Amino acid sequence: MYSRNRMKSFNIPDFYKSQLISKVKEIRKVSDPRKKDFSPTVLDFGPVRFFIARHFGFCYGVEHAIETAYKAIEENSGKRIFLLSQMIHNPDVNDDLQKRGVRFLMDTSGNQIIPFSELTPDDIVIIPAFGTTLAIEEQLKAFGIEVRKYDTTCPFVERVWKKSEKLGEDNYTIIIHGKSNHEETKATFSRSEKNAPSIVVKDINESRVLGEYILGNLPLAELRNVFNGKHSANFNPEKDLFRVGVINQTTMLATETQEIAEYFKNIMLKKYGEEDLKEHFADTRDTLCYATNENQEATYGLLRQDADVAIVVGGYNSSNTSHIVELCEEKLPTFFISSASEIRSKHSIRHFDYLNHELLESDTFLPEKEKTDIILTSGASCPDSVVDAVLQKILSFYPSVKSIEEVISEVEAKGTGNALA
């Protein structure tokens, strides 16, 4: 339904675009229209060289959400406009919407900031890109809110919902690979539990707990302890794990979702045999988000290059961004920052530790060497302008760099990402 080669173009405000980054993306789009080349674009400024990911930044779902939000502001002058929660997990986008008068009803954890009881039928409520739960939709409707008019739910999230409905119709129990406290997973869970018994697994380790129970190697009490609060009220593990299908929070690592699905396939194969496998395991590979997958493949392409450091730009509560950080950290020093303001000097940077949820200060940022190589990428909710500002900040630390025009001309002349000598 959503062929990546026939994607709609959205009207994104110009201040989210950039002189350099947006231009580089356009060059790669022209030279590689079928998105087959995952090698990075090389921007050689002389004393510093950047490896720019083939795919990063605003995806289809984010662009759809941003266009809808600004359209809501334009069409409803004089009306009160609310966002159910953060539009996307990016502080720049959310801050700009708030400056334009948009107010948040809830925080990302679901805590109420403004009571729904204060809403009137004349108010506008924008549903964020992650979607929302069926219960919250019903609450809004009860106060006379037209929830569909400015619903920015990503079409790829909705595709997961449709898959959960089909799994339920076919009497499969639904295993959701996701973070149980994430808005998207909550929205997906609210629909899957309506259709079938449902359970959320965070990673392959939790999946193994569930798999060992299916094989009879784990007591029920231990299973209940691990998955307390992470399954539907109607989930009965003693009878609901004979037929299973896996769906996912679209911003999780695609490789991990595939690993989890393959794991449960092998569990069912071991328990029931090859002949009856289709009766016990559903093929759900088509719930993977193309944009998340492409961004992660582009990160693998980046990591084939030798570099001194990696910089990943995005909101600190962004799931897809944290997974890109996770991949980069496996190979080289990686700094997760929200904006150029976190870079204090050539040697000092404030960056986010996503595992411990804390900001760190580092005084060993960029090395002193004749030519510094930097991997630069961002999450799916980060504007090109923010990435551009990071690049420009770093360039300011180096004398006698090439002009942007000269570097762009070199990229245009080469056309592809393989620009290394």
- Provide the annotated active-site residues: 184
* Cα three-residue angle 261-262-268, rounded to 5 degrees: 90
Q: Would you tell me how many other CB atoms lie within 10 Å of the CB of residue 27?
A: 18
DSSP states along 138-198: HHHHHTT--TTTTB---HHHHHHHHHHHHHHHTTPEEEEES-TTSHHHHHHHHHHHHHS-E
Give residues with Cβ within 8 angstroms of 349, minimum separation 6: 335, 337, 342, 343, 361, 362, 365
d(CA 56, CA 414) in angstroms, rounded, equals 20
User: Tokens in use for 272?
Assistant: 């029931």
Please name the residue that has the structure tokens 């392959």.
Answer: 204
Side-chain-side CA neighbours of 236 within 13 Å: the count stands at 3
**Residues in a beta bridge with 312:** 336, 377
> How far, CA to CA in Å, does 404 sit from each of 20, 22, 243, 391?
7, 13, 57, 11
> Measuring CA to CA, which residue among 246, 390, 253 is closest to residue 320?
253
The residue type of 266 is N
C-beta neighbour count of 141 within 10 angstroms: 12
Q: What is the DSSP letter of 2?
A: -
Cα angle, residue 234 at apex, residues 233 and 237 outer, rounded to 5°: 105
